[in-house]
Chains A and B, each alone.
Chain A
């Protein structure tokens, strides 16, 4: 058991190292000079002053150092918990921007991923072996799962927001409100949250339902199900066993899909101008904000790695076969 988790942690550590390196590298490979665009924004007319500012900025962000030193420094500051200063929202620290955005992203991601997984699995299990439900759930699921996140999001924003005007199309809360711990504000948050959440929930739902339907049909045909039927066990018990065993590959599927789901959520945030990490990343890319981009990606990488680790632990708990594999089977 300890060796298993030791190996897992090593793999996660390596993944983290690679991810941070790529995060550091990619923004710097983008064309364009962030300092130049900051200077342009500052509208300094005199060439000397401009030069002085350029030197100041380059020094401030460490762009005057050789690349390997910049890379090592970025690791150093990472361990100090210092994400640097945003170029786009200068001089706000990246950490502040992130802590403001992360709750919105989590509020979208966690419920949509978990709920779509739970509801999709239930739906798929019901659809298996029920003709009427199967003939309705399956086609709808195929359409949903083939739908791109941003397309459904745009369609919903246009339909519910623009045409019918039931839901707001932008922001995490109304511009007229100030954040506070009141029911009004909370209701307003929920109202803004509902559309982006539903679009994420719906797209993910279809895939889980299809997967579960197929796995459970397979499980109901399996030898242990046949044996139990031959011994006259009621369908209820057989379906319970089949559901539990069918959930196992779905858990693996969840681990595999996490990255895709997070990416989908980021796009959805942009469509709904939702003030989460997705919108932040878009702003960072548009303004060549290296530090913000690095920080945002770091959060996402960490989130996905932690979620994957949790799934690993859950898998060991629910599937006895993995535990046996670790301890060695008795003959």
Chain B
């Protein structure tokens, strides 16, 4: 196991009280595994991604632990987390377009960043990796504004993986891209894993069909909790959790004319995470809900590598 997350709880501090954005999530990630993390807005997937590398100012680590390569990550302490960042855990952010300092040449920025982490810049290796993502060497002498959006994205992907981290978190990196570029990004990320630039990866997205192309395992989250985790094909073809089932069935299918058949969504909205009621958080929207759902359903491994948190599935 590269990564072990155990009962992780991260809350947002607000004036009205704590928002329980990540409420007891446990999972593991093997060497070389790519985990697709899916769910709708506000389900806690970005919070989970951030929790693994850097909590922002309003987030607080309430409980649970994260173990990477046998070491417990001090995720609640910003300064203590610094030695692990970039070297063990790295991030490709949502905002690749603006992730680089606009007034520094890219090459100089990379050098200064590495020097600040007491790492030597291996220029040959950097050139090799630029070539791999089809960027010319001379981007290093340019300012970020001189690059197109796709070039900036690829540059950030190269920077983030330069120190061969054990875990790479890619947070909604394809959201702003057109479909053909999305495909290219997914292929590049796979290439990074296959070449050993990164050991394992968490790919956060709301796009299940894209995740299916990349991920070995898909984890679906709902309202701060794990709903279902299984190999990608199982999640897409034989989901057990009613939320996953509805999520998959609301995806458009190739060859189906939606003029005849209306594309359905999931009626209702996710619950407020400020003071969530006990019990299954999906039960207000769930077609299968019954009395037992007033109790919190524990995640249960229904078959090998297939974890579902639902009373009906177990």
A residues near B, CB below 8 A?
222-224, 226-234, 236-237, 241, 244-245, 248, 318-321, 324, 329-331
User: How many whole Å from A323's CB to the nearest CB in chain B?
Assistant: 9
Q: Find the A residue at minimum CB distance from B165.
A: A231
| B104 cross-chain contacts in A, Cβ below 8 A | 241
Given the contacts A231-B86, A237-B112, A245 and B103 also touching, CB distance less than 8 Å: yes
Beyond the given pairs A223-B99, A241-B104, 13 more chain A to chain B contacts, judged by CB atoms under 8 angstroms and listed by A's residue number, are A224-B101, A230-B85, A231-B86, A231-B91, A232-B86, A232-B87, A233-B117, A234-B82, A234-B116, A237-B113, A245-B101, A320-B143, A331-B148
12 example contacts (A-B, Cβ-Cβ < 8 A) are as follows A224-B102, A226-B93, A231-B85, A231-B90, A232-B82, A232-B85, A244-B103, A245-B102, A319-B103, A324-B143, A329-B145, A331-B148
User: How many whole Å from A172's CB to the nearest CB in chain B?
Assistant: 42
Among B53, B117, B146, which residue has its beta carbon within 8 angstroms of that of A330? Answer: B146
Q: Is the CB of B54 within 8 A of A230?
A: yes
Chain B residues numbered 62-88 whose CB sits less than 8 Å from any CB in chain A: 81-87
Given the contacts A232-B117, A241-B104, A223 and B93 also touching, CB distance less than 8 Å: yes
User: How many whole Å from A319's CB to the nearest CB in chain B?
Assistant: 6
Q: Is the CB of B99 within 8 A of A224?
A: yes
Cα of A231 to Cα of B114 in the assembled complex, Å = 10
Q: Is the CB of A224 within 8 A of B148?
A: no
User: How many whole Å from A324's CB to the nearest CB in chain B?
Assistant: 5
> 7 nearest interchain CB pairs?
A232-B85, A223-B98, A227-B99, A231-B86, A223-B95, A232-B82, A320-B143
Cα of A236 to Cα of B115 in the assembled complex, Å = 12
| B56 cross-chain contacts in A, Cβ below 8 A | 226
User: How many whole Å from B109's CB to the nearest CB in chain A?
Assistant: 8
Q: Is the CB of A232 within 8 A of B83?
A: yes
Q: Find the A residue at minimum CB distance from B142.
A: A330
Cα of A331 to Cα of B85 in the assembled complex, Å = 32
Cα of A227 to Cα of B156 in the assembled complex, Å = 10
| A330 cross-chain contacts in B, Cβ below 8 A | 142, 146-147
Cα of A78 to Cα of B202 in the assembled complex, Å = 73
B residues near A, CB below 8 A?
53-54, 56, 81-87, 90-91, 93, 95, 98-105, 112-113, 116-117, 142-143, 145-148, 156, 159-160
| B113 cross-chain contacts in A, Cβ below 8 A | 228, 231, 233, 237
Q: Find the B residue at minimum CB distance from A327.
A: B146
What's the dominant secondary structure at chain B's contact region?
loop
User: How many whole Å from B61's CB to the nearest CB in chain A?
Assistant: 16
Given the contacts A233-B113, A245-B102, A324 and B85 also touching, CB distance less than 8 Å: no
User: How many whole Å from B112's CB to the nearest CB in chain A?
Assistant: 6
Cα of A15 to Cα of B143 in the assembled complex, Å = 34
Cα of A12 to Cα of B309 in the assembled complex, Å = 71
| A234 cross-chain contacts in B, Cβ below 8 A | 82, 116
Q: Is the CB of A231 within 8 A of B142?
A: no
| A233 cross-chain contacts in B, Cβ below 8 A | 113, 116-117
User: How many whole Å from A246's CB to the nearest CB in chain B?
Assistant: 10
User: How many whole Å from A250's CB to the nearest CB in chain B?
Assistant: 14
Cα of A60 to Cα of B116 in the assembled complex, Å = 73
| B84 cross-chain contacts in A, Cβ below 8 A | 232
| A241 cross-chain contacts in B, Cβ below 8 A | 101, 103-104
Given the contacts A230-B91, A232-B82, A320 and B101 also touching, CB distance less than 8 Å: no
| B101 cross-chain contacts in A, Cβ below 8 A | 224, 228, 241, 245
Cα of A113 to Cα of B156 in the assembled complex, Å = 41
Q: Is the CB of B98 within 8 A of A222?
A: yes
Q: Find the B residue at minimum CB distance from A330.
A: B146
User: How many whole Å from A328's CB to the nearest CB in chain B?
Assistant: 10
| B98 cross-chain contacts in A, Cβ below 8 A | 222-224
Cα of A321 to Cα of B93 in the assembled complex, Å = 23
User: How many whole Å from B152's CB to the nearest CB in chain A?
Assistant: 11
| A222 cross-chain contacts in B, Cβ below 8 A | 98
| B83 cross-chain contacts in A, Cβ below 8 A | 232
The listed residue with most B CB atoms (<10 A of its CB), out of A232, A324, A330, is A232
Q: Is the CB of A227 within 8 A of B93?
A: yes
Among A230, A245, A320, which residue has its beta carbon within 8 angstroms of that of B145? Answer: A320
User: How many whole Å from B197's CB to the nearest CB in chain A?
Assistant: 15
User: How many whole Å from A219's CB to the nearest CB in chain B?
Assistant: 10
The listed residue with most B CB atoms (<10 A of its CB), out of A228, A248, A321, is A228
Among B86, B100, B142, B143, which residue has its beta carbon within 8 angstroms of that of A224? Answer: B100
Among A229, A236, A320, which residue has its beta carbon within 8 angstroms of that of B54? Answer: A229
| A329 cross-chain contacts in B, Cβ below 8 A | 145-146
Q: Find the A residue at minimum CB distance from B86.
A: A231
The listed residue with most B CB atoms (<10 A of its CB), out of A227, A245, A248, A321, is A227
Q: Find the A residue at minimum CB distance from B105.
A: A320
Cα of A228 to Cα of B87 in the assembled complex, Å = 13
